[in-house]
Structure 1
């Protein structure tokens, strides 16, 4: 039954697919996904508390970057014992 259904639905799904894909790709800016109202409230609240948060968040912190560069991790694999 599933094969018959997919054979009937496939032409409907693929109808004019190239034009539909071209139309979506040629848009200048993609449409963002809708956000929950609670997320919008959190954004407004964060803007009120610290208006420069986004700017500071995306700015590179040189002190933290240097600390990451100074970290060096060495690891050794445990010896595997194979018994026959």
Structure 2
């Protein structure tokens, strides 16, 4: 709703404002320094033939320009080509593992895990590394073995450890 109002205000009296801007006097070139006037006149008189060449029209170039015809079309993107050529394969899904009470997940693509499942498998592996091996996790969650090994190697769950200070005496509560 707000965009429509802004667009209407921006486009109000647009043609008249554009015509007014176009009809304004064009800015003139900056004034030249008095000391360079004589140098400029001198250069222009020495190279009068170049100035004449700049001003005159070249008929050969004009005829070549008239022969040019440009026909353009929007290119077809490669993504559209691939989508048109290959039909989409149906994805395989699996049911989520564990307790997903707070999230409305009905199914998960095979080869992927949800955040809750990732945290669960990391904590299970950390607590029980003998039972929750990389092979068992890959089989349980339908993942590739190399991906599971990488996840277990590079990711850990956050753990808070509080060490009691040995040099200070603990304050006894009354």
Shorter-chain TM-score tier: 0.3 to 0.5
Bigger Rg, structure 1 or 2? 2
Give the structure-2-normalised TM-score.
0.23
Q: Which has the higher contact order (CA 8 A, sep 6+)?
A: 2
Greater share of residues in helix: 1
